[in-house]
Amino acid sequence: MTTIRALFTAFAPESLARSPHLPTSPRKVISALPHCRSGHYGHSLYECASWGGHHRVQHACGNRHCPQCQQPKTQQWLHHHLEQQLPGPHFLLTFTVPETLSPFIRSHQRIAYHAMCTAAALALKRLAKDARCIGTALPGFTGVRHTWGRQLQYHPHIHSIVPGGGLSEDRTTWRPSRAHFCVPVKALAPLYRARCKEAMQPAGLLELIDPQVWTIPWNVHSQADHHGHSAFTYRAPSVCKVALANHRLVSPTDRTVTCTYRQAGRARPRTPQLDAIELIRRFLQHVVPDGLQKVRHVGLRHASCPVPCVTIRRMIVQAPPGADPPPRRPPPPPRAARCPPCGMPMRVVMRLWTSSRAFVDTGGTAGRCPEALHTTRCGPPTAPVRPPPALMQLQAADDGSAIAFQRLADASRGATDAPMAMPHDGVRPMLPALS
């Protein structure tokens, strides 16, 4: 089995040479993925609590499009939203666009993605306000933007998790929907199309779109789910994952890679063969610009909703105001770093970060798994960063051995001229799991 990192290491320079006018975001991905967990971003030294053995772990790149760096974020996202979920039925809605509109969306991603999210929110609010549907003045939903299909083709769409109901005009009562019906999709689809056109009009780009797009039918799919827990659990893996995972790459041969996928409604996996450059091209077309949100919360799901979730839960279950709220779900415990030979817990001895102002961190985060150490930003240092002389020797000739790290750790513990601290502009990348 090959990995996306190995694929980019071997063929990314050739792909970049064929496409010299790539935007900044794909170029950052091409630069980050080959160096993920390769030592380019530094190392951490772990010590086994049982027999004192040392294990070096390379830091990850932390890029949002790297499949090796996104898995720990899935459980964090799921735990946070299960804390905020509402009782009762939920609905999974999918907003799509015609295939003829995809080239325009790919060329104007910021404008088009914003228009799609805005149109979906306005159309859903319009129908939810109708008394024949729900009759609520404040619905809500969580929307997740996706851009890929099963074969990595460009297919922009929005997945939405919609609670079955909403708040009344005075925000004092809960208006439930029917158990198997939220809003009519036959009325939602043309309304979504009209709102999407209105959202794109201020940018002055409608003349670049084929007018036939606004006359053909658009598709919106709705599926009922009786429990919010299963709805969020079903959607959580797709929130932080990227277009292609390592387990889908099998049997690489020279310049050809076999990529598995499953057709809709079929259990047997398909194994088409793609050229490596073509596979990289399909992967890079799903890289979004920096700062573009992937998840949006609307209405009562938004953080600025004036009615807290605890109050909404009491309205739904009709509990008295003084009733105790449901018990909070305990957060998932941090995955402990285990020694590969013996399985005993390990502690962090030292971290070495590569930057223009090199430094060593010997602070204790004992027993925590590298995947649980996420990006953090530190405040201003309490003293100037003055690495010990052993660090200069290691930077001059790093033989990649645990012995050199042990010498550096001993020198760091014995240094008394200045405390070690991170620069105020330093960013700690995510650390990977032990192999």
- Which pLDDT does position 59 carry in this prediction? 87
Q: Are residues 160 and 303 in the same domain?
A: yes
pLDDT tens figures, 381-400: 333 334 444 333 333 333 34
User: For residue 277, is it within any domain?
Assistant: no
> 362 pLDDT band (50/70/90 cuts)?
very low
**Listed range (60-64, 132-136, 368-372) with the worst mean pLDDT:** 368-372
Q: Is residue 303 part of a domain?
A: yes
β-partners of residue 348 are: 46
HSE-CB for 29 with a 13 A CA cutoff: 28
Domain-located, residue 148? yes
**Angle made by CA atoms 345, 346, 347, in degrees to the nearest 5:** 135
**Is 165 inside a domain boundary?**
yes
Instruction: Tell whether 121 and 235 lie within a shared domain.
Output: yes
Please indicate, yes or no, whether residues 150 and 233 belong to a single structural domain of this protein: yes
Please indicate, yes or no, whether residues 197 and 58 belong to a single structural domain of this protein: no
339 domain residue, yes or no: no
Do 16 and 56 lie in one domain? The reply is yes
Q: Is the pLDDT of residue 71 over 80?
A: no
Task: Answer yes or no: do 141 and 225 share one domain.
Answer: yes
- 57 and 135, same structural domain? no
Q: Is residue 211 part of a domain?
A: yes
Residue-number span of the structural domain to which 233 is assigned: 85-243+286-307
**In a shared domain, residues 295 and 412:** no
The model's pLDDT over 15-34, given as tens digits with 9 standing for 90+, comes to 888 888 888 899 999 988 89
Q: Are residues 300 and 174 in the same domain?
A: yes
- Token reading at 394: 């290691």
Task: Give the predicted TM-score (pTM) of the model.
Answer: 0.74
Name residue, tokens 């991603």: 109
Q: Quick: pLDDT tens for 371-383.
A: 333 333 333 333 3
Dihedral in degrees, nearest 10, Cα atoms 331, 333, 335, 337? 140
**pLDDT tens-digit readout, 148-164:** 888 889 999 999 999 98
Question: In which band, very low, low, confident or very high, does the pLDDT at 308 lie, cut at 50, 70 and 90?
Answer: confident
Higher pLDDT, 396 or 211: 211
Total structural domains within the chain? 2
Give CA–CA dist 226/85, Å, rounded: 13
Residue 311 CB partners (closer than 8 Å, separation 6+)? none
Residues 134 and 194 in one domain: yes
Does one domain contain both 51 and 114? no
Q: Is residue 330 part of a domain?
A: no
Residue 245 has pLDDT above 60, yes or no: yes
Residue 134 within a domain: yes
Residues 315, 264: Cα–Cα separation, whole Å: 39
18 and 144 both lie in a single domain: no
